[in-house]
Amino acid sequence: MSWGRTSLMKQSNSRSKRHVQFRAILTTLVLIMIVLVLWFGRKGKKYSPMSDLANQKWNSLNPLVSFDPFVEHRNGTDVIWQIPDSPKAVLFLAHGCNGRAANFWDKSPKCLHCVGLPEERLIVLHALARNFAVVVVSSRKTCWSLGEERWIVKDIIQWWITERKLDKLPVFALGASSGGYFVSVLATELQFQAIVVMIAEGVYSHLNISGDYPPTLFVHMPKDETRKQKIERYLVVMRERGIDAAEIRCMEFPLTPELFANRIPGLDLTLSVKLFNLFKEKGFIDQNGYMRDDGRAIPWKTALEEKGIHLPDKSLVNHIQEEMNLAFAYHEMTSLQSQQIFDWFESHMTSIH
């Protein structure tokens, strides 16, 4: 009887172990299925790692920071700036063609002509959140020129830094498109700690740069194959010359019904859903929500009129356009990589004595 009970106990223990093993395997399979669902998305939609970043809300940095700009006019151009309570660095921002300093701050009693484009305003907010004092200058014409204008801007930046008693702080620069070319040249005139050249390859084929040129981060959209190839060549050349150079590649992401409301102040969820459904109906986006073409090439404004969809503010056209261009990821200013950009700046931060 004792042997029989022992045998039964062994069988019971064996069944118990097999049950535990089965449950462990089943749990592992469930976890794998969850990961696969998250990766590939629901209903066959592709998952984009950029989607989470793109759907961060326009007010996600509130109440950590808020806009409080100062507007001045100097040397024939607008200068808009803001300094956080405890600044640790200075950041000069250069807009692209058709841009201006007013694009970087929301409209307010202190800046009645400001328009706060989605990406520009978020770059400023991220900078302020990292305790960077921000100064933006408008180009005199549609795009930046690379001659006399660089000395004008150099004078403005130096005057502003001295006037605001920020002389001991490291200075950085970020320029997009035309502003990227401009910053690449300005860096030969001003001692920046590091620069970001965004959606531009710079004018390095015309510059004789060496190891004392500032560390350079290219933030670009590889869908632009010609620019990507130039940046790849410049990265090699710059590193060979002892310049710290790196890149961030910005990829496309799908539109969602919530995206425009999440990214654009003054555009509510109802309108965002209408825009998404219209783009889907017209075939402007594919079955996964990806833009079929650059937003500049799509007749979406005409489609809006035909559908009888009215915007609460006509200026929102430019905001919507910017987010469409960003989603297509060919050529647009982007704030989505702000954490990486400011990590890059901070990794090259030293005090000025």
Same domain, 178 and 130: yes
pLDDT tens column, 308-325: 999 999 999 999 999 999
Same domain, 23 and 86: no
Residue 31 lies in a domain: yes
Same domain, 285 and 243: no
Res 353: pLDDT: 40
Number of domains within the chain: 3
pTM to 2 decimal places = 0.85
Residue 61 lies in a domain: no
Which CATH number does the domain housing residue 166 bear? 3.40.50.1820
Same domain, 167 and 199: yes
pLDDT tens column, 36-69: 444 444 344 444 567 777 878 999 898 889 999 9
| Contact predicate 170/193, CB 8 Å | yes
Average pLDDT over the chain, rounded to an integer: 89
Instruction: Return the minimum-mean-pLDDT range out of 44-53, 117-126, 184-193, 268-277.
Output: 44-53
Q: What is the mean pLDDT of residues 173-191?
A: 97
pLDDT level of residue 19 (50, 70, 90 thresholds): low
As a whole number of angstroms, the distance between CA 95 and CA 143 comes to 9
| Contact predicate 80/111, CB 8 Å | yes
Same domain, 234 and 265: no
Instruction: Judge whether residue 237 has pLDDT over 90.
Output: yes
Instruction: Return the minimum-mean-pLDDT range out of 37-41, 153-157, 174-178, 229-233.
Output: 37-41
- The domain of 322 spans 259-328
As a whole number of angstroms, the distance between CA 127 and CA 110 comes to 20
Same domain, 278 and 340: no
Report the 3 state secondary structure along 118-136: HHHHHHHHHHHHCCEEEEE
As a whole number of angstroms, the distance between CA 264 and CA 58 comes to 6
Same domain, 322 and 340: no
Residue 127 lies in a domain: yes
Instruction: Judge whether residue 78 has pLDDT over 90.
Output: yes
